[in-house]
Structure 1
Amino acid sequence: MVTQEAHDLAEARARQIKESGLYAVAAHFDAATGLMHVTLKKGFTVSFPKERSQVMANATNEDLSEVDISGAGWYVIFPKLDDGFTVEGMLSGRFGNDRWEREWAEKHQELQAA
């Protein structure tokens, strides 16, 4: 059961996200380029290669052909995978669990230096 305090904190966070405009209003995967595009209410689009995302890296283009956004715009969901990622994580540069992020950083050190 959720405590009143946890509920109130969640509501406050929801208001903060809504006011910031940092939530998804559209998303699609471009199989031709291998890029995921997420458009935010704030008026810009974030794009990244599917290999960057733990959820997307081993998925087929067919798996990624359907993309949904949660009602509040906080999650990008791939129905065929029954999985997705958070917009907040994407905006903070976090595309997977701790192990995924550590291995990505080790494999792509040249990007870290840029």
Structure 2
Amino acid sequence: MAELTDSEINAAIERGHIAQQTEPRADAVRYDKRNSRIVVDLTNGCTFAFPPRVAQGLETATDEDLAAVEILGAGYGLHWEALDVDLSIPGLLAGLFGTKAYMARRAGQTKSPAKAAAARENGRKGGRPRKQA
């Protein structure tokens, strides 16, 4: 394995400093029981909130569990000790509320008038069309 040079190490440290100054990180976090939202104040002055029921591991958490949230890793993550749940700030801001498999299952649960109409139409035709090999 190749060893890192001092210049490569210094460049990596500099990239880390730049990331800390430019990437959004959590400055404070709280559970808003009244509105059922996790509220994250970011270091850039913005605030981000999301309903816990959409996040993997928080779907059935109690108010007390949700209120016991803490910030991890210089503001790059949120952690619920009692629930053994960790969520990343960059992931949350990108709309990722869990693993790829979890997000795929959630996408399949989406309800909309268009989806309902398509399901009714498929039902009239005898059900979901078979996949072609």
The question of a shared fold, defined as TM-score above 0.5 by the shorter chain, is answered with yes
For residues 22-101 of structure 1, what are the structure 2 equivalents within 5 Å? Answer: 22-101=24-103
**CA distance in structure 1 between the aligned counterparts of 2:111 and 2:16, rounded to whole angstroms:** 35
What are the Cα deviations for residues 27-59 of structure 1, in whole angstroms up to 9, with x where unaligned?
Answer: 111122211111100111111111110021121
Give 1 or 2: higher helix fraction: 2
Question: Runs in 1 of length 4+ with deviation above 6 angstroms?
Answer: none
The CA deviation at 1:17 is 2.9
Higher relative contact order by CA 8 Å / sep ≥ 6: 1 or 2?
1
Gaps of 5+ in 1: none
Partner letter of residue 32 of structure 2? D
Q: Which has the larger radius of gyration?
A: 2
TM-score by length of 1: 0.78
Q: Is the 8 A contact 1:17 1:23 kept in 2?
A: no
Counterpart amino acid of 2:46?
A: F
Q: Percent identity?
A: 28
Which secondary structure does the structure 2 equivalent of 1:100 belong to? helix
TM-score, scaled to structure 2: 0.68
CA contact (8 A) 1:55 1:85 kept: no
- How many equivalent residue pairs? 107
The CA RMSD over aligned residues, in Å, is 2.5
